Structure 1
């Protein structure tokens, strides 16, 4: 069910609610998965390799090393991982300058969380320069801090990103709700001990203990997040 509750009205909702909300970026708040794929396809095309769309669901939402490693394997390119990583990030930043649309409900949800004083953090596997580029349209003011993939030792699906974010906010991971769109991100959050709300992008995600699945960020509101304490165990 899509939430149509105005921000001001949600203040009357009952329940303790999450202590903090940790949000993924690519495919969750910003519709960038297609732009990443375009950047990867263009870089590999420059090297004489046409990427089949069948690989798109494999690389979506994963860390750069895993995604590029898979594409190196299927294409047989002689370019190195380091060379491809630099080239793809550079191409993505060129493409993102044209703008990336926010996912439906993203701005309203962030505004609602801010209005209620819910601590939030952006936790992404993307590099710092990429995050900073997207924050220009997303709004840095909505987050207490942002954490990039190159600012942790081990990125998603390892739990370190969400353990780090929860610790920086001063909360137990079990008190935090994570909003993710991929299996990789969900695995990271669940390994950290967080409650998870999955908003699947390209690949379906099934409900599980301490995990609920919605079709859009438009389904999320303060009352919904407060209900997770009793609905997810």
Structure 2
């Protein structure tokens, strides 16, 4: 599912440094799927004779899949190729999504707020396109100008490419696009792209830093904070 986006008059093109857009991660940020990914990985490896623990979980949270696969193979020495393991984990994850995906507290309110005030939102995920399309059935594709998948960019998170692509498609300046993330990998990508970041950690610890605000819930994210994140950098 690919939405064609044409920058509209609703995008703030003034030179006053105001908020132009909000770029949101998916897994663990808007939808409570990090546990699903972990269940898929841990249960599969248990069947293969390898027990994964919380230390491993901290390493795999936030993707991208290529990094997760490399870590799991190096750690367990499982006799599977990266391609084979990717297929097995993705299929198990998709099976877990069959009954729908729970939204994170505050996610629906935040998306509705952005829509009500005409602030463009883009979904920027390390997950592959077929995973995003499944999750959008629960999350609602109508909330986003478009979505960027991890298999649609040359380099995914922690590289800045996904967020730079999203800002460019919106015709926005990265410094005027607030990114909302839950994992260190995504935070690194957003900051490398030059975006201010609101981090709501799901598993791994994220410390506050310059241009970065760390919160305990999306319920704490409002329009005033989003605008302040941008104007503070001017």
Using structure 2 for the length normalisation, give the TM-score. 0.90
More divergent stretch after superposition (156-165 vs 50-59): 50-59
1:222 shift after superposition: 1.0
The equivalent of 2:12 in structure 1 is: none
Partner of 1:120: 121
**Displacement of 1:40:** 0.8
Match of residue 130 from structure 1: 131
Return 5+ residue gaps in structure 2 as ranges: 1-15
Match of 1:207 in 2: 208
Residue 170 (structure 1) aligned with residue 171 (structure 2): yes
1:153 matched to which residue of 2? 154
Q: C-alpha displacement at 1:41, in angstroms?
A: 1.5
For residues 115-163 of structure 1, give each alpha carbon's deviation from its aligned partner in whole angstroms, at most 9, with x where no partner exists: 1110110000001110011000100000000010000010000000000
| Unpaired stretches in structure 1, ≥5 consecutive residues | 1-14
In the other structure, the counterpart of 1:10 is none
Q: C-alpha distance in 2, partners of 1:53/1:205?
A: 16
* Structure 2 counterparts to residues 98-117 of structure 1, below 5 A: 98-117=99-118
Rounded Cα–Cα distance in structure 1 between residues aligned with 2:18 and 2:110:
15
How far apart are the structure 2 equivalents of 1:79 and 1:172?
43
Tell me, in whole angstroms, the C-alpha distance in 2 between the residues paired with 1:80 and 1:138. Answer: 33
SS in 1 for 2:79: coil
Secondary structure of 1:122's aligned partner: strand
Q: Distance in 1 between matches of 2:108 and 2:23?
A: 15
- CA distance in structure 1 between the partners assigned to 2:196 and 2:62 by the alignment: 19
Q: CA deviation at 1:16?
A: 7.0
Aligned-pair CA distance for 1:202: 1.1
Distance in 1 (alpha carbons) for counterparts of 2:66 and 2:82: 7
Aligned pair count reads: 219
Q: Structure 1 residue 217: deviation in Å? A: 0.4
